[in-house]
Amino acid sequence: MVSTTLIRNVITATAVAAGLAAGPAAAHGAAPNGSGHGLCFDLNSSLATDSIAALAPPAGGGSWQPVGASNNPLSGGCNLDAMLVTDDGIGDATAVSRTLLFHDGRFMGTVDDKPYSYTTVAHTSKDAVTVSYRWLGDDDPFCCPSGGPTTVTVTMHDGQLTRTGALPPSS
């Protein structure tokens, strides 16, 4: 028969190896709302679903679909996370995207003031998200935007979001 102490030690060792116990995230208390699978933000969480539902629907019809999210590990501590969503309505290069921001298990808004095409999340870290934008020139085919790139970086410090950089020109 295996002793309860041995089982407890194996469970604890497994949790530590998986980054689920001890370390910065544990020191900050419970994992934030929306976390899962060892990450500060889980793309499949109810926080993700509820935040997408809070956005105005895409102008071209369809709905917002998650494309990707930051992958900050709980073991490193949580501060700022992002999720990129794209319009699935038309299905061509005119599809637009939004980048949603999360802090402490809460939806904080979007990086951009409106949806843009040719949007990518260029970089994420525990404290910053950088989004890159391109846009079509007057004679550009949909495949090949010549405008940009321009970037916007959002940082989180003491619970305050700060945006630096420039959004694409309004069309």
**111: in domain:** yes
**40: in domain:** yes
- Provide mean pLDDT across the span 150-161: 93
pLDDT above 50 (res 8): no
**76: in domain:** yes
Tokens at 135, concatenated: 């846009």
**70: in domain:** yes
Q: How far is CA 128 from CA 6, 40, 45, 75, 101, in A?
A: 42, 14, 21, 17, 10
pLDDT of res. 91:
66
pLDDT digits (tens, 9 = 90+) for 57-116: 998 788 999 999 999 999 999 999 999 999 987 766 678 999 999 998 999 999 999 999
* SS3 of residue 47 by DSSP: helix
Which domain covers residue 120, as residue numbers? 32-165
**21: in domain:** no
Measured over the CA atoms of residue 64, residue 145, residue 163 and residue 153, the dihedral's sign is positive
The pTM of the whole model exceeds 0.85: no
Mean of all residue pLDDT scores within the chain: 83
**19: in domain:** no
The model's confidence at residue 117, banded by pLDDT at 50, 70 and 90, is: very high
Total domain count, the chain: 1
**20: in domain:** no
Q: Which helix (H) or strand (E) holds 85?
A: strand 81-87
**22: in domain:** no
Tokens at 168, concatenated: 């694409």
- Provide mean pLDDT across the span 119-142: 95
Q: Rounded to an integer, what distance in angstroms lies between the CA atom of residue 14 and that of residue 67? A: 31
